[in-house]
């Protein structure tokens, strides 16, 4: 795992770990003085073996498994999956169900972006912003709980439709919640774009040109912040997006600041789209029948998760269980960008840089290996985070 090319390096694990611990760090940075000269990534702490697991569960059971790939964007996973299976079955969920799926998806995007705002702020030491954004996020958590019964893993989808309806009272509650959040988002936009300490850690940092973003395969807000015009809701609209289109939000800055601005602007677009759907929600059924055995075939389902394009490949052999399901999460695309962009930056910028792609922060216990001159140290994420905060003080 260490950069074997550099010859004289040897591994000396130092830090609050057992001396004999041989630990694959999530990230490995090689530094020359303060500047990062090499970076690599090793995933796998959260690898559970889900794709294999899907082959052993029925089509319906898989909804519950796939939702739990990620607790932050569970609904988009379920949505991508059911849309794909419905395609194979040759059915279409009724319009009201698609509308409810879309409202839930946009509410999820709101919760995800606010969560990210807090976490990214926390990485930079801006804990007040973290507390405020997570407090405000409780509003959208309440709304999700109101409509679905759970704060996380709302489980809105069934094959062929949705489980719950939105009556007039719930729609009013959603509207009131959105009004509050919209006002708060204006405030966050102001902080992010005018606070000097914040700008010092984000403006010009992590610069990625449009060409780099495209070559490196970036997706989602990370790519759009570098001017890449890619959003599955617009490129290949699904669910209710054909009837309730969203605007493309991009920024030409390409730096960390741009990534903050894009996500905040996307929040405004979420509020607008949800209101538009609620005002004109189609009447009708919530589900349509889907057979227990799904006809043989293959399909590809792409949706826009809060982090970017989520890709599902689903193959049926005509039975009660899938033959193969392949899931490519947006974070996998974006890791590559970090590893490339990190080079040339200061080690102190790494926490914010990584936060900038909105990774699934699978453990706040990520280990980082830092290679400097001839030593190699194992740092905890907290070490790296504190390092960044102190550097910029």
Task: Scan residues 86-115 and list those touching another protein (CB under 8 A).
Answer: 115
CB of 8 to another protein, least distance (A): 21
Strands 308-316 and 35-41: unpaired
Q: Work out whether 18 is an interface residue with another protein (CB under 8 A).
A: yes
CB of 47 to another protein, least distance (A): 4
CB of 239 to another protein, least distance (A): 14
Which of the residues 296 through 355 are near another protein (CB under 8 A)?
298, 300, 302, 309, 311, 313, 315, 324, 326, 328, 332-333, 335-337, 340
Residue in 27, 37, 30, 40 with CA at minimum distance from that of residue 372: 30
Of 9, 68, 293, 321, the one binding another protein by CB under 8 A: 68
Of 139, 148, 316, 371, the one binding another protein by CB under 8 A: 139
d(CA 262, CA 248) in angstroms, rounded, equals: 10
Q: Is 129 within 8 Å of 117 (Cβ atoms)?
A: yes
Of 9, 37, 42, 189, the one binding another protein by CB under 8 A: 42
CB of 210 to another protein, least distance (A): 13
**Interaction pattern, residues 234-273, with another protein; x per rule: CB under 8 A:** -xx-------------------------------------
d(CA 13, CA 206) in angstroms, rounded, equals: 28
Phi, psi of 282, rounded to the nearest 5 degrees: -65, 145
Of 9, 153, 175, 372, the one binding another protein by CB under 8 A: 153
- Residue 95's alpha-carbon distances to 174, 285, 286, 299, 315, in angstroms, are 20, 8, 8, 21, 25
Of 9, 151, 163, 210, the one binding another protein by CB under 8 A: 151
Q: Of the listed pieces 131-139, 160-168, 277-285, 343-351, which binds another protein according to CB under 8 A?
A: 131-139
CB of 189 to another protein, least distance (A): 19
Which of the residues 367 through 386 are near another protein (CB under 8 A)?
380, 382
Size of the residue set binding another protein (CB under 8 A)? 76
Nearer to another protein, 165 or 211 (CB): 211
Strands 367-372 and 27-32: parallel
**DSSP conformation letters of 93-157:** --HHHHHHHHHHHHHHHHHHHHHHHHHHHHHTT-HHHHHHHHHHHHHHHHHHHHHHS-SS----E
Q: Is 67 within 8 Å of 55 (Cβ atoms)?
A: no
CB of 277 to another protein, least distance (A): 21
Which of the residues 158 through 217 are near another protein (CB under 8 A)?
176-177, 180, 214-217
Q: Work out whether 78 is an interface residue with another protein (CB under 8 A).
A: no
Nearer to another protein, 151 or 203 (CB): 151
d(CA 230, CA 233) in angstroms, rounded, equals: 9
Q: Work out whether 48 is an interface residue with another protein (CB under 8 A).
A: yes
CB of 259 to another protein, least distance (A): 18
CB of 219 to another protein, least distance (A): 9
Cα distance between the two ends of the chain: 33
- Residue 259's alpha-carbon distances to 103, 265, 266, in angstroms, are 24, 10, 11
Of 35, 46, 200, 296, the one binding another protein by CB under 8 A: 46
Q: Of the listed pieces 10-18, 31-39, 158-166, 252-260, which binds another protein according to CB under 8 A?
A: 10-18
Phi, psi of 195, rounded to the nearest 5 degrees: -70, 125
d(CA 381, CA 123) in angstroms, rounded, equals: 10
Of 17, 60, 247, 377, the one binding another protein by CB under 8 A: 17
d(CA 258, CA 213) in angstroms, rounded, equals: 13
């Amino acid at each position: 795992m260490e950069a074997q090319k550099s010859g004289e390096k040897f591994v000396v694990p130092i830090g609050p770990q057992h001396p004999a611990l041989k630990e694959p760090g999530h990230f490995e940075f090689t530094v020359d003085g303060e500047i990062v000269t090499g970076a690599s990534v090793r995933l796998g702490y959260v690898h559970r073996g889900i794709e294999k697991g899907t082959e052993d569960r029925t089509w319906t059971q898989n909804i519950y498994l796939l939702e739990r790939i990620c607790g932050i964007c569970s609904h988009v996973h379920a949505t991508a999956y059911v849309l794909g299976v419905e395609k194979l079955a040759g059915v279409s969920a009724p319009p009201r169900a698609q509308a409810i799926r879309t409202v839930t998806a946009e509410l999820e995007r709101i919760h995800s972006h606010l969560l990210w705002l807090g976490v990214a702020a926390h990485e930079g030491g801006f804990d007040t912003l973290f507390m405020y954004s997570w407090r405000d996020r409780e509003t959208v958590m309440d709304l999700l709980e109101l409509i679905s019964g759970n704060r996380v893993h709302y489980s809105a989808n069934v094959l062929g439709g949705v489980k719950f309806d939105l009556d007039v009272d719930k729609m009013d509650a959603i509207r009131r919640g959105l009004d509050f959040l919209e006002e708060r988002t204006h405030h966050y936009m102001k902080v992010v774009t005018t606070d000097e300490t914040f700008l010092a850690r984000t403006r010009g940092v992590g610069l990625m040109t449009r060409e780099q973003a495209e070559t490196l395969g970036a997706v989602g807000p990370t790519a759009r912040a570098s001017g890449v015009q890619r959003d599955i809701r617009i490129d290949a609209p699904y669910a209710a997006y054909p009837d309730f289109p969203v605007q493309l939000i991009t920024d030409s800055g390409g730096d960390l600041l741009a990534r903050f601005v894009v996500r905040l602007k996307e929040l405004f677009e979420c509020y607008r789209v949800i209101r538009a759907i609620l005002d004109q929600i189609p009447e009708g059924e919530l589900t349509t029948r889907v057979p227990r055995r799904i006809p043989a075939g293959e399909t590809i389902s792409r949706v826009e998760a809060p982090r970017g394009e989520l890709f599902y490949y689903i193959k049926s052999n005509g039975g009660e269980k899938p033959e193969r399901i392949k899931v490519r999460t947006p974070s996998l695309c974006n890791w590559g960008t970090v590893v490339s962009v990190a080079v040339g930056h200061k080690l102190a910028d790494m926490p914010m840089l990584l936060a900038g792609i909105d990774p699934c922060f699978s453990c706040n216990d990520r280990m980082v290996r830092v290679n400097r001159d001839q030593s190699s140290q194992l740092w905890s994420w907290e070490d790296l985070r504190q390092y960044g905060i102190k550097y910029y003080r």
